[in-house]
Structure 1
């Protein structure tokens, strides 16, 4: 399980993200993935892949590391750092992303 997870349901970061990344949704998939372990294929990775294909959604690799989300986070999660881990976990060639 990811060490920075407690509850990422507060949504304070959602309104300030200039890339319209649904950080809560992405973190939920990522945290669930980490609970089941690093599998070659998972339902969470597949869900992330399908989510990334929706028009107008921001995904982890869209993060510009502006830090606006960190300023709003009551848990002081280093969201840009976690986004890099999300990219390594889900945005792989296996799920159809180009590396």
Structure 2
């Protein structure tokens, strides 16, 4: 709750053009590096693809676990995020639970080939 309150405090102070040109450039560079990491999945984490009939945590897996792994190459952290943090109760099931039904395809505003990308994540993450 403390984090939420702190975030709300910062958000209350936000206003258009409050970042300096140097801050905007630094932010833009960070976003570029993140979005152009080799193998990056262009998922925005909008969660329009869920609910998944198999309870696969699609947006969380792509936007948080997999893309962060590609950027930082920290396998230990990625596996912690993918296994411990992503319990079926908390987030959903892993990529290996995807049966390729394709129900998610029509829902994705980025038109990602979600079943094939989940297979890629399964191959990389081992489940």
Q: TM-score, normalised by structure 2?
A: 0.60
- Counterpart check, 1:49 vs 2:83: yes
Q: Which runs of 5+ in 2 are unaligned?
A: 1-36
Q: Quick one: distance in 1 between partners of 2:104 and 2:66?
A: 17
Q: In the TM superposition, what is the alpha-carbon distance from 1:79 to its structure 2 partner?
A: 0.6
| Map of 2:50 onto structure 1 | 14
Q: In the TM superposition, what is the alpha-carbon distance from 1:8 to its structure 2 partner?
A: 2.3
Higher fraction of helix:
2
SS in 2 for 1:68: coil
Alignment of 1:20-99 (within 5 A): 20-27=55-62, 28-37=64-73, 41-51=75-85, 54-56=87-89, 57-91=92-126
Give the CA RMSD over aligned residues.
Answer: 1.9
Runs of 4 or more consecutive aligned structure 1 residues displaced over 6 Å after TM superposition: none
Q: Which runs of 5+ in 1 are unaligned?
A: 93-99
SS in 2 for 1:44: helix
Larger Rg: 2
